Amino acid sequence: MTDCDILIVTVPFTDTDKPLQAPSILKAVVERHNYTAMTRDLNHEFLTSNHKDLDSMKQYFCFHAIDDMDKIQAVENYVEKTAESLVKQFNFDFLAISVFTYQCQTFAKLLAQNIRRLRPNAKIIFGGQGLSTQGIQSKDSWAKTCLQHGIIDHYIISEGENALIDVLKKGKGKGIDGEQWEQKTNLDDIPYPNYDGYNLDNYEGKKLMITGSRGCVRRCTFCDIHKHWQKFVYRSGQSIANEMISQSEKYKIYEFSFTDSLINGSMKAYRDFVSILAEHNKSAENKLTWGGQFIVRGLNQMTERDWEMTRDAGAKNLTLGIESGSEKVRDHMKKQFSDKDMDEFMSQAYKNDVSVLMMVIMGYPTETHEDFLDTLRMFRRYSKYQKVIDGVVLGTTLGILPGTPLAEDLIDDIEMNNGENFWIYSKNPTLDFRERIKRRIIAGEELLKMGYKVHAHDKDYKLLHYLWDIYKNKQQQNVVDINTPNVYEQKYS
């Protein structure tokens, strides 16, 4: 048995083939303050378990629903054995459970209940954005209920680097057991993630996560991230490059995935980062590569020299939220880039052999039929760049989420019609749910004909069928429907 002050674990279900970053960062943070910490990635153990009831358990952990009630016992047995494994392997005073999304809540609660039974004197802490149940701006009611019922001793919704130390030292502080937390403005002083507790060879995605910023420099109408991270804060380019070089040498992994809302939010930090990494790659035996979400910038903001440095620094698979081929629609979204910017961006990506992944929103409220055709025309025009286009993400159709500018600014003109996907915009009434599905289907078929890879195409169609059945039967759109036989047909909120 290994003694430690705190054990930090991830829990299912998060669909990823990479090690989640939060436990490794928190391990490094608490060790800096002279506490001993260990980590276990229970999410990865679950995904690679080959359990005969894996799909049913995924559905249960995601939605607290299952299509075969006899399999409830399998769920309970799995969590119980996981808890027994933890207390057998580690002697800990604190257990910190990373609740990455709301789909981790069910497992987290069951695990905490089992740990409480097996190790009653241990302090149990929930932490993460998944403590919020209805989006990033929702209340902390679920976590508060767990606290009131004695399932946990504390919860931390955000900025755990400071709050967790306060829990260990005094059991109280900003961001602990409530919604009031203080945003961290200096990201350069956070220690590098410590993955020593992970067997990184077991992960199919041979990548390490890295965070260069929190928040966003945009205020897109369909997104609420700026309400959570009210300031855009970022690390220096030197700090980001140093971490990647150091971590690659330590763990022998040479590809990185940014968790940021955008990598190139600060062009000064970005230029510093790519110039340092490009110089490193010149002589490195194992060149570093990286990818993540990226803002489309024209040559007036991202020069040809910036592109050369981006190429030499190892950029690959930049994820672009282009959202629409209509400049008019993008202007309403507040995307802040023109058709000319987009053309220049794609030309430079092609010239420098930097691959991109394109994300599109189907059925934005102001989208006319001509706007929709503009999107198809854009992809036809960019067919010549397919060598560097890894694929297109069309999703299903736009859902209007609470707390977004769309929901707030159009409140007098939007009828939600029993679901975030079923809305009607009074100033564009022909774009009903049926029409939005029609455009999504046409877009998918046309892009495939053009030779593009459409990511998760079949899963998106399954979800559209599921939503259409709810819509045509005039039912309320819910997160859970226990009559749905497969997790991929469930409504994702």
- In whole angstroms, what is the distance from residue 477 CA to residue 260 CA? 30
Q: How far apart are CA 355 and CA 350, in angstroms?
A: 8
Instruction: Write down the pTM of the prediction.
Output: 0.88
E strand or H helix at 255: strand 255-258
DSSP letter (8 states) at residue 176: B
Q: What is the pLDDT of residue 130?
A: 84
Give the helix/strand (H/E) hosting 56.
helix 54-63
pLDDT for position 483: 40
Token pair listed for 359: 């994300």
229: which 2 tokens? 């991270």
Residue 200 in 3-state DSSP?
Answer: helix
Vertex 459 angle, CA 44 and 390, to 5° = 80
Residue among 382, 387, 356 at smallest CA distance from 264? 356
Position 133 scores a pLDDT of 55
More confident residue, 474 or 32: 32
Q: Position 192: which residue type?
A: Y
Mean pLDDT of 137-163: 88
Predicted confidence (pLDDT) per residue in 370-428, tens digit:
999 999 999 999 999 999 999 999 999 999 987 789 988 888 999 998 888 999 999 99
According to the model, what pLDDT value does residue 63 have? Answer: 67
- pLDDT, tens digit, 9 for 90 and up, residues 22-59: 999 999 999 999 999 999 999 999 999 988 888 888 87
Candidates 177, 195, 205, 242; CA nearest to 38 is 195
**Contacting residues for 73 by C-beta, under 8 A, at least 6 apart:** none
Which of 322, 252, 264, 315 lies closest to 294 in space, CA to CA?
Answer: 264
Contact partners, residue 331, CB within 8 Å, separation at least 6: none
Count other C-beta atoms under 10 Å from residue 75's C-beta: 20
What are residue 393's phi and psi, to 5 degrees? Answer: -105, 110
Residue 453 burial by Cβ neighbours in a 10 Å radius (0-12, 13-18, 19+): middle
Predicted confidence (pLDDT) at residue 211 exceeds the cutoff of 50 = yes
CB atoms within 10 A of CB 268: 10
How far is it, in rounded angstroms, from Cα 122 to Cα 108?
15
Question: Has residue 230 got a pLDDT over 90?
Answer: no
- What was the pLDDT predicted at 490? 41
* Average model confidence (pLDDT) across the chain: 91
Residues 6+ apart with CB under 8 A from 445: none
In the predicted model, what is the mean pLDDT of residues 480-484? 40
User: What are the structural domains, with CATH classification, of the chain?
Assistant: 2-170 (3.40.50.280), 206-489 (3.20.20.70)
Least confident of 96-105, 424-433, 479-488: 479-488
In this structure, are strands 208-210 and 213-214 parallel, antiparallel, or unpaired?
A: unpaired
Which pLDDT belongs to residue 210?
96
Structure token pair of residue 438: 């029609």
